[in-house]
Amino acid sequence: MSVEWIERAIELIGEGESFTVITICAAEGSAPREAGAKMIVTRHKQWGTIGGGALEFEAAAHARALLSEEASTSLFEEFPLGPALGQCCGGRVLLLYERIGPTARAWLEDTRNLVSDNKDVVLERTFPGGDWRPSDQSAAVQNNTIELFSAINEAHPKGIPDPAAITRIREVVSNQRIPVYIFGAGHVGKELARILSALPVTVTWIDRRADVFPESIDVSTVPTDRETEIVDSAPPGACFFVMTHDHQLDYDLVLHIMKRADGAYCGLIGSFTKRVRFEKRLRRAGVSDTQIEHLRCPIGAGGVKSKLPAVIALGAAHEMLIAHQQYQKGEA
**What pLDDT shows up at residue 118?**
60
143-181 pLDDT, tens digit each: 555 666 544 434 444 568 888 888 888 888 877 789 999
- The half-sphere exposure of 113 on its side-chain side, counting CA atoms within 13 A, is 8
> Which pLDDT score is estimated for 71?
61
**pLDDT, tens digit (0-9, with 9 covering 90-100), for 22-32:** 999 888 877 77
Of 81, 77, 21, 36, nearest in space to 55 by CA: 81
Contact residues for 294 (Cβ-Cβ < 8 A; gap 6+): 258, 263, 265, 266, 332
User: Predicted confidence band at 215 (pLDDT cuts at 50, 70, 90)?
Assistant: confident
What pLDDT was estimated at residue 238? 96
State which H helix or E strand residue 222 sits in: strand 220-223
Q: Which residue has the higher pLDDT, 39 or 162?
A: 39
- Give the Å distances, CA to CA, from 37 to 26, 58, 68, 196, 251: 10, 16, 24, 20, 41
Please state, in angstroms and as integers, the Cα–Cα distance from residue 56 to each residue in 33, 47, 97, 287, 312, following that order: 11, 12, 12, 51, 32
Q: Say which residue, 168 or 52, is predicted with more confidence.
A: 168
pLDDT at 137: 54
pLDDT of amino acid 156 = 44
The pLDDT, as a whole number, for residue 277 is: 95
Total length of the chain = 332
**pTM to 2 decimal places:** 0.75
CA distance linking residue 269 with residue 244, whole number of Å? 8
* CB distance 183 to 213 below 8 Å: no
195 against 30, higher pLDDT: 195
What are the tens digits of pLDDT across the range 272-314?
Answer: 999 999 999 999 999 999 999 999 999 987 766 778 999 999 9
CA pair distance 206, 27, nearest whole angstrom: 40
Higher pLDDT, 207 or 72: 207
Q: How far apart are CA 51 and CA 108, in angstroms?
A: 24
pLDDT for position 125: 85
Half-sphere exposure of 163 (CA within 13 A, CB side): 14
Domains of the chain: 4-173 (no CATH), 178-328 (3.40.50.720)
pLDDT for 303: 64
Where helices occur in the chain by DSSP H, the ranges are: 4-14, 53-66, 105-114, 187-196, 227-233, 247-260, 272-284, 289-292, 309-328
CA atoms within 13 A on the CB side of 307: 2
pLDDT at 82: 63
Give SS3 for 245. coil
Q: What residues contact 203, with CB distance under 8 A and at least 6 apart?
A: 180, 181, 182, 193, 196, 197, 219, 220
Is 8 a residue whose pLDDT tops 90? yes
Tell me, what DSSP letter sits at residue 132?
-
Dist. CA 313–CA 296, nearest whole Å: 13
Instruction: Using alpha carbons, list the distances in angstroms from residue 126 to 74, 169, 214, 239.
Output: 12, 6, 47, 39
Q: How high is the pLDDT of residue 155?
A: 41
Q: What is the mean pLDDT of residues 214-234?
A: 94
Percent over 90 (pLDDT), the chain: 51
